Amino acid sequence: MIVLAAVAVLLPFAAAFIGMIFGPTISHLLTPLARRLRRSVPPGAANGRARTLARRLPANGPALVAVLPVAASTVLAAVVAVAQWQHPRPRTGTLTVVRTGGIPFGLSLEVDGTAAVVALLVCCVALAVQIYSVAYMRDDPRYSSYAAFVSLFTAAMLLVVLSGDLLALYVGWEVMGVCSYFLIGHYWHDRATSRAAVKAFLVTRLGDVGFLFGIFVLGLAAHSFEIGTVLSRVPSMSHTTLVAGTLLLLCGLAGKSAQFPLHTWLPDAMAGPTPVSALIHAATMVAAGIYVVARLYPAFLFAPAALAVLGVMAAISMLGAALAALAQDDLKRVLAYSTISQLAYMGGGLAVGTRDGALFHLLAHGAFKALLFLGAGCVIVAVGSNMLSAMGGLRHTMPVTFWSMTVGFAALAGVPPASGFFSKDTILSQAWHATRPQHTQAWFASTPLNSGTQRLTVSVASVPTWTGWLVLAAGLLTAAVTAAYATRTWLVAFFGERRSATGAGEATGLMRWPVAVLAVPALVIGFLGLGSDELRPELGMTLVSLLFVVAGAGAVYLVWNRDPALDPVRLLGPARPLLRDGFRLDAVYDVLVVRPLVALAEMVVHTDERAVDAAVVGAGRGTRRLGGLLRRTENGNPQTYISGVLAGVVLIVLAVVVLT
């Protein structure tokens, strides 16, 4: 099984290498073959499809290199997941151990039930994105490099999911960051896109600094970077070490998973191609922070302060991002803010003690958010605009996209029986349990070690009561706001009068059918949790949650139904600009961070020019002037030289007489 998992990681990496180095060459080599194929096809209407295939053969060469390895990885990930389900036990394998002179680290993989399922989700979403991109990017001259970066991104995320060593995990973590920079900035000639890529890179790197130091703190305390060993030694670590290490890890979660206060890069990242948004926002980069915290969860259970910080971060992010999504006119920015909000639900689940509930929502979110982003791409291509104000009446001309996105919006809003209903209410139910005094969370894990497998049991009163109340209140309010903006987006885009001047119709099959296929797991994946007591939401909390959902969706529908030509968010009034700009947090950062840093940089430049450079230039000028004075004495006149010698002798004699 470990071999299959390793091959699943290496195949996208190999595809990335081939695509980057040999992509244009593949197209060039296929051109003669396409010409011979066209000449071999006799003329006639019946052979039009064969001629079209021959004409597109050179362009499809890089597409095959991109799609086939990811498809093979998906098959291997499915085999691993099935094998893990049949025989549920952790499996580890080490390729090599790197000796550093201090604590060694290993290139190892670890497969358990959680890793197998998340790896399968990553492969499925990546495969859908690669197939979708063949049509979406068909006219892009740099498709080969784009597909290669998507493959490398996929390999890096799989390394994060399956790695058995914290340092190897960090390598995949950073490779994802680099790939996100190139993918978001794919349209680099656009100034806004270039700035968005730089912003995403810098903000996530800021969080990664803390994440790396968190790895060092836990690894040094455990005298090993092997994840199983670190977890087994968590009970013996000091409380200060655990609090410091886990808080530093949360810095990485805030950056990668776009949580307050490092979330501002994610809405701007919508400047990249739509398939990239689906890849980053569904099951890969933004989910990495949640997944790592879930994987190292025993350390957080022994650090209640870190769980409390995570709860506060999640509450602010989920409600604030939902309110911002309600005021957006750009369809992709609506989905971007919804990603921040849904990731905060997962963070809130971890904060109140439901690791499995958070991972359950991660899986459900990966399915329905990939569906929504790819469906949004179909709508944008058909309409020719990202703006909701340019859409309307699309349900008749785009029936497949309409019904698929209807499932996605239902899952996002938490409407039964869609997947988001089950996973969201599981988290809210656990938050209600966490509000009870003396709430104790028990967590069990089979931890693989070099010498075998041990069962680690954590049972500590680690969830503060006020954290439960905070997550519960924010979660219920967010459920209402989420239902409101999901309903508003659905109504404005697909109902009412048609506002687009273009002939909107269904997208090509390579774009349309991945969206339709993703609608299936977005609808049914929630039922998988009914077999587990922990993943089954409670009836009372379900009814309360549904009341909030109905209130949010009903309010928007009543406003829209009065005049479908007007956007329901007009009722936000003066608050809409503030919400549309994300509470103007970027402006706050500009005042508190950017301007002081620019002023400091200008002061350094001024000091460098006026002090350091001036001293160097002044020393050079002084030496030059002194040399000019000495040069005057070297005029080639012997009388002057003899006079100087005699004058020197006289001075020496006088000095001797005076001093003696």
* Within a domain: 180: no
Question: What values do phi and psi take at 586, rounded to 5?
Answer: -60, -40
The full DSSP string for 589-620 is HIIIIIHHHHHHHHHHHHHIIIIIHHHHHHHH
Residue 596 lies inside a defined structural domain of this protein: yes
Residue from 57, 69, 1 nearest 29 by CA: 57
CA 57 – CA 611 distance, rounded (Å): 63
Task: Report the C-alpha gap between 127 and 68 in whole angstroms.
Answer: 9
* 3-state class (DSSP) for residue 69: helix
Within this chain, do residues 282 and 156 fall inside the same structural domain, yes or no? Answer: no
pLDDT at site 625 = 82
Claim to verify: residue 157 and residue 270 sit in the same structural domain: no
Q: With respect to residue 653, please indicate whether it lies within any of the assigned structural domains.
A: no
pLDDT of residue 373: 92
**What is the identity of the amino acid at 285?**
M
Cα–Cα distance measured from residue 60 to residue 47, given in angstroms and rounded to the nearest whole number: 19
Whether residue 266 is found in the same domain as residue 213 = yes
Q: Which residues contact 327 (CB under 8 A, 6 or more apart)?
A: 569, 572, 575, 576, 577, 579, 580
Radius of gyration of the chain (CA): 31
Long-range contacts of 189-198 (CB under 8 A, 24+ apart): 190/271, 192/271, 193/271, 193/272, 195/268, 196/265, 196/268, 196/269, 196/270, 196/271, 196/272, 197/269, 197/271, 197/272
For residue 107, give its domain range: 1-163
The size of the chain, in residues, is 660
User: Do 145 and 261 belong to one domain?
Assistant: no
Closest to 358 measured CA to CA, from 372, 369, 342: 342
Is there a domain that residue 511 lies in?
yes
496 and 370 within one domain: yes
Q: How far apart are CA 153 and CA 146, in angstroms?
A: 11
Whether residue 589 sits in one domain with residue 489:
no
Q: Are residues 259 and 120 in the same domain?
A: no
pLDDT of residue 353: 87
- Residue 505: Cβ within 10 Å count: 11
| C-alpha to C-alpha distance for 15 and 65, rounded to whole angstroms | 6
Residue 647 belongs to some domain of the structure:
no
Q: Which residues share a beta bridge with 98?
A: 105
Give the pair of three-digit tokens for residue 560.
């829209």
The pairing of strands 91-98 and 105-111 is antiparallel
Question: What are the tokens at 33?
Answer: 């073959």
Single residue among 539, 569, 599 that ends a domain in this structure? 569
CA 186 from centroid of its chain's CA atoms:
16
Nearest to 560 by CA among 396, 353, 416, 392: 392
257, two tokens: 């998973």
**Cis ω on the peptide bond leading into residue 638 (within 30° of 0)?**
no
223 DSSP 8-state letter: T
Does residue 323 sit in helix, strand or coil?
Answer: helix
pLDDT along the chain (660 residues), means of 10: 90 90 64 54 53 51 83 94 88 82 83 92 92 85 88 94 93 93 88 90 93 95 92 91 95 92 91 87 84 93 92 96 93 94 95 91 92 92 88 88 94 92 92 76 47 46 80 96 95 84 74 91 86 80 94 93 82 87 90 90 86 82 80 72 80 81
**E strand intervals along 420-536:** 441-449, 452-460
Q: Which residues of 562-593 are buried (b: 16+ CB within 10 A; e: fewer)?
A: eeeeebbbeebeeebeebbebeeebeeeeeee
Residue 413: predicted pLDDT: 94
Largest CA distance in the chain: 122
Whole-model pTM: value is: 0.86
pLDDT tens, position by position, 571-594: 788 888 999 998 989 889 989 888
Residue 358 lies in a domain: yes
Q: For residues 526 and 203, what is the distance between their CA atoms, to the nearest angstrom?
A: 33
pLDDT, position 208: 94
Cis peptide bond prior to 304, omega within 30° of 0: no
Pairwise CA distance, residues 336 & 128, whole Å = 19
Q: What's the Cα-to-Cα distance from 129 to each of 220, 273, 458, rounded to whole Å? A: 39, 11, 39
User: How high is the pLDDT of residue 624?
Assistant: 83
Domain count of the chain? 3
Q: Assign 46 to helix, strand or coil.
A: helix
What are the residues facing 441 on neighbouring strands?
460
Residues 74, 220, single domain; the answer is: no
Task: Map residue 98 onto helix, strand or coil.
Answer: strand
Task: Centre a 10 Å sphere on the Cβ of residue 346 and count the other Cβ atoms it contains.
Answer: 31
Query: Residue 94's beta-bridge partner residues?
Result: 108
Residues 105 and 195 reside in one and the same domain: no
Per the domain annotation, does 648 fall within a domain?
no
Residue 508 lies in a domain: yes
- What pLDDT score does 57 carry? 46
In this structure, the answer to whether residues 232 and 158 fall within a common structural domain is no
Residues 82, 218: one domain? no
DSSP structure class, residue 583: G
**How many beta carbons lie within 10 A of that of residue 628, not counting itself?**
9
Provide CB contacts within 8 A for 438, sequence distance 6+: 461
Alpha helices by DSSP H, listed for 525-612, are 539-562, 575-580, 585-589, 595-607
Q: What is the pLDDT of residue 458?
A: 47
Phi, psi of 69 (to 5 degrees): -60, -40
Phi, psi of 178 (to 5 degrees): -65, -45
Let me know whether 601 and 549 are in one domain: no
| Cβ contacts of 133 within 8 Å, gap of 6 or more | 66, 143, 146, 147, 150, 273, 275
* Amino acid found at 639: Q
